[in-house]
């Protein structure tokens, strides 16, 4: 009987090829070939350029708007790639979703609303996904929407390393709202510093108002931490509230820099030192100037892919004490 050997194949969708290349370089391998194109009517086509039969496939894709299309395009592209792999008899399919689009609709806040995070989870399962690796979901309970294993990684240690190297004085981690307080507390524990929480309300979508600051921030260097920056409305409101309470310097960090609409202009117009985001979503080089800094999650994702493929523990990557 022929001995069966495991074979790892790494593929990239069109949403974040730079991150995929970085992951491949760390893993000391080449990205495998896949032909992806969009037909004139907007439909997406994908075909693997070599056999994937019996292989363990890892498909890197950010479900977000990018140069190749909208968030809907990148989601459909991922589904098409997974379906093609399933029909080509891949042994396993792992979707490495660096940013999980539609995750903000994770519950019904009003009557007759959808729960799109669950819908996307069902679509991925139907497309043949066996496992999901993702970074900083909007809410951790989204893992429960899947009947497949989900490795939920966090960029908090990456931010802790970045700000630790700046040797800042009197640091206070600030949560933008109560829902983010648990993650902010983890970052504060890693950095061994104080914690504050903003009380935020949303009178409408993409509109935020901060009514109170819980904790002492006067004279401190505040690091406002969130999972994403979309239109930057929450960030602007938060920074203004911290400054009114006497914060000395304000830094902002968020895993996913979506920068929709007038976000970049809003960030340039407020009194902050830096805005640090990860490369889970591609940030155009033209925006990586001035206040915008980008740190990479490629080492974290490469380690996760290696551990999953080799049946090693991934739990150390969930631990806030894990440092790159």
Task: Indicate which CATH number applies to the domain containing 175.
Answer: 3.40.50.2020
Give the C-alpha distances (Å, rounded to integers) separating 112 from 139, 210, 224: 21, 28, 33
321 pLDDT exceeds 60? no
205 pLDDT exceeds 70? no
159 pLDDT exceeds 50? yes
Which is more confident, 318 or 139? 139
Q: Per DSSP, which regions of the chain are E strands?
A: 8-12, 34-38, 44-48, 56-61, 92-97, 131-135, 150-153, 171-175, 194-204, 207-214, 221-229, 249-257, 275-278, 292-295
Domain limits for position 287: 156-295
- Residue 30 domain-assigned (yes or no): yes
Residue 84, classified by CB atoms within 10 Å of its CB into exposed (0-12), middle (13-18) or buried (19+), is buried
pLDDT digits (tens, 9 = 90+) for 5-61: 899 999 999 999 999 999 999 999 999 999 999 999 999 999 999 999 999 999 999
Dig out the tokens for 175 from the structure: 């949560």
What pLDDT score was predicted for residue 324? Answer: 41
* Averaged pLDDT for residues 151-180: 95
Phi, psi of 52 (to 5 degrees): -115, 10
Dist. CA 101–CA 116, nearest whole Å: 9
pLDDT digits (tens, 9 = 90+) for 71-115: 999 999 999 999 999 999 999 999 999 999 999 999 998 999 999
Q: Which residues are catalytic?
A: 200
Dist. CA 146–CA 125, nearest whole Å: 8
Task: Say if residue 190 is in the same domain as residue 210.
Answer: yes
Selection from 14, 234, 226, 246 nearest residue 137 by Cα = 226
Whether 256 and 280 have beta carbons less than 8 Å apart is answered as yes
Residue 109, classified by CB atoms within 10 Å of its CB into exposed (0-12), middle (13-18) or buried (19+), is exposed
pLDDT digits (tens, 9 = 90+) for 209-236: 666 899 999 999 999 999 999 999 889 9
Q: How confident is the model at residue 204 (pLDDT cuts 50, 70, 90)?
A: low
Task: Say if residue 111 is in the same domain as residue 195.
Answer: no
Task: Say if residue 145 is in the same domain as residue 21.
Answer: yes
Dig out the tokens for 141 from the structure: 């309970």
Mean pLDDT of the chain: 92
- Residue 323 domain-assigned (yes or no): no
Task: Say if residue 13 is in the same domain as residue 150.
Answer: yes
The single-letter DSSP state of residue 69 is B
Q: How confident is the model at residue 199 (pLDDT cuts 50, 70, 90)?
A: confident
Task: Say if residue 127 is in the same domain as residue 163.
Answer: no
The single-letter DSSP state of residue 105 is -
- Residue 242 domain-assigned (yes or no): yes
Give the C-alpha distances (Å, rounded to integers) separating 215 from 23, 125, 175, 247: 39, 43, 11, 11
Whether 144 and 104 have beta carbons less than 8 Å apart is answered as no
What pLDDT score was predicted for residue 72? Answer: 97
Dist. CA 297–CA 158, nearest whole Å: 8
Task: Say if residue 303 is in the same domain as residue 206.
Answer: no
């Amino acid at each position: 009987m022929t001995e069966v050997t495991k074979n790892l194949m790494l593929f990239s969708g069109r949403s974040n090829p730079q991150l995929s290349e970085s992951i491949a370089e760390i893993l000391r391998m080449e990205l495998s070939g896949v032909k992806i194109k969009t037909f004139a009517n907007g439909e997406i086509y994908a075909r693997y350029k070599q056999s994937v039969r019996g292989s363990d496939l890892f498909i890197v894709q950010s479900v977000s708007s990018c140069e190749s299309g909208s968030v809907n395009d990148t989601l459909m592209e991922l589904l098409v790639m997974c379906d093609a792999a399933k029909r080509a008899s891949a042994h396993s399919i792992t979707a490495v979703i660096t940013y999980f689009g539609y995750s903000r609709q994770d519950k019904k806040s009003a009557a007759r609303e959808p729960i799109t995070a669950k819908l996307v989870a069902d679509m991925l399962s139907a497309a043949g996904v066996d496992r999901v690796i993702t970074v900083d979901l909007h809410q951790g309970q989204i893992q429960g929407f899947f009947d497949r294993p989900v490795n939920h990684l966090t960029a908090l240690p990456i931010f802790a390393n970045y700000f630790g190297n700046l040797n800042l004085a009197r640091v206070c981690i600030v949560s933008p709202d109560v829902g983010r307080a648990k993650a902010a507390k983890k970052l504060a524990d890693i950095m061994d510093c104080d914690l504050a929480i903003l009380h935020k309300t949303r009178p409408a979508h993409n509109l935020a108002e901060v009514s109170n600051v819980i904790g002492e921030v006067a004279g401190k260097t505040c690091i406002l931490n969130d999972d994403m920056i979309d239109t930057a409305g929450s960030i602007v409101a938060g920074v203004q509230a911290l400054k009114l309470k006497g914060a000395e310097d304000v830094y902002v960090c968020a895993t996913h820099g979506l920068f929709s609409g007038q976000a970049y202009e809003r960030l340039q117009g407020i009194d902050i030192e830096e805005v640090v985001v990860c490369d889970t979503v591609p940030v155009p080089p033209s925006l990586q100037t001035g206040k915008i800094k980008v740190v990479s999650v490629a080492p974290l994702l490469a380690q996760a892919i290696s551990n999953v493929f080799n049946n090693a523990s991934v739990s150390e990557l969930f631990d806030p004490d894990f440092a790159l």
